Structure 1
Amino acid sequence: MKVTFFSTKPYDREFFDRFNPSFGFELEYYETHLGPHIVNAVEHATAICAFVNDKLNAEVIDVLARKGIKYIALRCAGFNNVDLEAARQAGLRVCRVPAYSPEAVAEHALAMILTLNRKTHKAYNRVREQNFSLKGLMGFNLHGKIIGIIGTGNIGRAFARLMRGFGCTLIAYDVVESDELKRFGVQYLPLREVFAQSDILSLHCPLLESTRHLINAETLRQMKKGVMIINTSRGGLIDSQAVLEGLRFKQIGYLGIDVYEQEDKLFFRDLSHTIIDDDTIQLLMSFPNVLVTGHQAFFTSEAMEEIALTTLKNLARLAQGLEPENPAAVVV
């Protein structure tokens, strides 16, 4: 079976090539993202493998179906970039990697909290210039702070376990509550109460119509002045313009984002020698209390191994007429 990959980088090839001999697929790699501009390049393949910023709208899916594609394998957990109804009507199976490494993303969220709070990134640059002053580097104790967790799936639960170790008070919101988290003291509250009580708010929910712009002008007004907001999930959870206003008026004290609404034009690329014409991201990065990373929360060797293995296993089982081992891997 031939599998055509999109949005691939050298590290993707490294891990897929390492594990593919056990499966014997023919792998074809494109560095460009998948969209109407490149979909016609797919030839003689049975499956395509896509990533978070690939665009699988109805137009793309129609072309894929006419070219004989049977399977769309997402090497990520989210599937908001796929027109699932179009895939269903075209008879294409869609699978994903529902839980590649919850700890990788949870640990990155914690790293962003610690960096924003204790300003280690600023201290690093300052000391390299032989400036050992502590002025402007004061932080706060995490111990005793109220941490609000929006979404308590695999990543949210991993994040809760980490923050419990710091002696934080943990509150959460999810449409499905976790008995595991309740047993070790997480209190589930209505969403409005989580917004109102949290010193630090960390987002770990999928991007759906019901969660798009979950952080907006109205919900920001419900939060404590100076709240820290961390987003390692999907950029569309945050209304960027509302957050800019929240930063300007100091309603938001700290913002850490590993994802961004318009990231498909920016992330996973070296743009160091170009002029970025996205005024919003430029403004966000200009604030001293904002930390932006380029969708790297998932990026550990353990996660990459799991992504490659799970994706290849999913495709192998679908090709044999079987369902993936993890039922959550099936989207359509």
Structure 2
Amino acid sequence: MKVMNFGVNHVEIQYYEKLNQDFNYDLSFESRLLDTDTVAEAKGFEVVTVSVNCKVTKENLDKLKALGVKYLFTRTVGVNHIDVDYAKQLGFKMARVPFYSANSVSELAVSLSLGLLRNTFYMAENMRKKNFKVDDFMFAKEIRNSVIGVIGTGRIGMEAAKAFKGMGAKVLGYDIYPNDANKAILDYVSLDELLAQSDLITIHSPYIPGENDNMINKDTIAKMKKGAFFVNVARGSLVNYDDLYEAIESQHLRGAAVDSVQNETQIFLKDFAGKPLPIETYEKLHSLYPRVIFTPHIGYYTDLALEDIITTTFENIRDLQSVEKIANSI
């Protein structure tokens, strides 16, 4: 079966080829994302796989259908980049990757958190300027003397909680579905209590359209401890970034790190060196560097996470050929 994989970087291809030894698909790769300019590359393929920032819109679905594509697989947990209802109308068989290495995302959250808490990003920027003076901003609170708030205590949130607990922090958790098994690692509290007590808050909630849009906003931020840090490696739609900017610019929050933003296809995977970002909110947030750190939605970008994603995608392709629906079907 011929498979076109959109949005695959060169370093990833070796993993696809190694894992394909158990499946023997005829693989092709396109480093660019699927959009109106690249959709024609799917000509001659029955199967297309896409990544998170591909634009699987009604227009592109019509083109894929006309090109003879029958199967559409996303190498992601979320499916917001796909017009799912229209794809079903056209008869595409589709599936997703419901989970992959929780450690991959949690390690990014923890590493960003450590950079903020210990002011590493600030010191690295000073070093780049050849400034080796010690100043007041470098003074840090030790993690074992800190309270870490984890919003969303699923697989990823709990891996982050374990790491912070291992460093001696007091860890608070909030989840609409608390899990008693997690209480050995963290203390469940109300969201308001977590916001008020935490020195750093890391969010790991799934995004549910219409239910938790802009969950982090001026009202929730106002309840956060003055001088706290905020980390988002979940979904951009969980955060009102205008409100986050105001909180950091006004010194209510000390800093933030984000791996996902709203409308991120306009920002991520593009080079704006010497130019302003096309969305004013993110340009303003970027101006607060190194108190604000962006990473380009790379929580998945590790060896073991990639192996999980590829293996599940290959299994989805195999299984959906013989039946109408599988466990990972969209």
Residues 22 and 166 of structure 1: CA distance in aligned 2, closer, same or farther (over 3 Å): same
CA distance in 2, matches of 1:189, 1:85: 38
What amino acid is aligned across from residue 266 of structure 2 in structure 1?
K
1:313 counterpart letter in structure 2: E
- Over 3 Å counting, the alpha-carbon distance change for 1:85 and 1:104 in structure 2 is same
Equivalent residues in 2 for 1:107-122 (5 A)? 107-122=107-122
SS at match of 1:298: coil
Specify the code of the residue in structure 1 equivalent to 2:100.
Answer: Y
- Kindly indicate whether the alpha-carbon contact (under 8 Å) linking 2:276 and 2:283 is maintained by their aligned counterparts in 1: no
Residue identity opposite 2:111 in structure 1: A
Mapped partners of 2:248, 2:128: distance in 1: 29
Q: Which residue of 1 aligns with 2:264?
A: 263
Give the superposition deviation at 1:323: 6.2
Shift of 1:318: 1.6
Whether the 8 Å contact between 1:80 and 1:208 is mirrored in structure 2 is no
Distance 1:191 1:46 in 2: 47
CA offset digits 1:166-189 (Å, max 9, x no partner): 22222222233223212x142333
Distance 1:277 1:323 in 2: 41
Q: Following the alignment from structure 1 to structure 2, what is the Cα–Cα distance between the partners of residues 79 and 161?
A: 29
- 2:317 paired residue number: 315
Specify the alignment match of 2:231 in structure 1: 230
Cα distance, 1:52 vs structure 2:
0.9
Partner Cα separation in structure 1 for residue 271 and residue 128 of structure 2 = 25
* Aligned counterpart, 2:247: 246
In structure 2, C-alpha distance between the alignment counterparts of 1:290 and 1:125, rounded to whole Å: 12
Structure 2's unaligned 5+ residue stretches are none
Change (3 A) 1:273 1:249: closer
- Judging changes above 3 Å, is the alpha-carbon distance between structure 1 residues 47 and 118 closer, same or farther for their aligned structure 2 residues? same
How do residues 211-226 of structure 1 correspond to structure 2 at under 5 angstroms? 211-226=212-227
Aligned to 2:105: 105
The residue that corresponds to 1:177 in the other structure is 178
Partner of 1:193: 193
| Aligned equivalents of 1:272, 1:292: Cα separation in 2 | 14
Q: Cα–Cα, structure 1 residues 212 and 134, in superposed 2: closer, same or farther, change >3 Å?
A: same
**Structure 1 residues 254-276: Cα deviation after superposition (integer angstroms, max 9, x where no partner):** 10111222321232334436554
Q: What pairs with 1:11-30 in structure 2 (closer than 5 Å)?
A: 11-30=11-30
**Cα RMSD (Å):** 2.4
Distance in 2, matches of 1:322 and 1:92, equals: 11
Alignment of 1:153-164 (within 5 A): 153-164=154-165
Are 2:54 and 1:54 equivalent residues in the alignment? Answer: yes
User: Which string of whole-angstrom CA distances, capped at 9 and with x for unpartnered residues, describes residues 178-227 of structure 1?
Assistant: 23212x14233333333333221111122221222111122212222222
- Equivalents in 2 of 1:134, 1:43: separation in Å? 59
| Match for residue 294 of structure 1 among 293, 296, 310 | 296
Code of the aligned partner of 1:311 = T
Which amino acid in the other structure matches residue 304 of structure 1?
Answer: L
Q: Is the 8 A contact 2:6 2:32 kept in 1?
A: yes
Shift of the alpha carbon at 1:140?
A: 1.0
- Aligned partner of 2:166 in structure 1 is 165
> Structure 1 pair 331/242, CA: closer, same or farther in 2 (3 Å)?
farther
Q: CA deviation at 1:322?
A: 8.1
* Correspondence for 1:205: 205
CA offset at residue 130 of structure 1? 5.9
- In structure 2, the CA distance between the partners of 1:29 and 1:113, relative to structure 1 (3 Å rule), is same
Q: Given residue 27 of structure 1, which amino acid in structure 2 is its aligned partner? A: L
Instruction: Give, in angstroms, the shift of residue 8 of structure 1.
Output: 2.3
Point out the more displaced range, 132-141 or 31-40. Answer: 31-40
Contact 2:10–2:31 under 8 Å retained in 1: no
Q: 1:65 to 1:179 in 2, by over 3 A?
A: farther
Structure 2 SS opposite 1:143: helix
Identity of aligned residues (%): 29
Scaled by the length of structure 1, the TM-score of the pair is 0.88
What letter is aligned with 1:73?
Answer: F
Question: C-alpha displacement at 1:108, in angstroms?
Answer: 1.1
Please tell me the residue identity of whatever aligns with 2:141: F
Q: Which amino acid aligns with 1:302?
A: L
Quote how far apart the aligned CAs of 1:308 are.
1.8
Residue aligned with 2:144, SS: coil
Give the secondary-structure state (helix, strand or coil) at the position aligned to 1:244: helix
Q: Is 1:99–1:154's contact at 8 Å kept on the other side of the alignment?
A: no
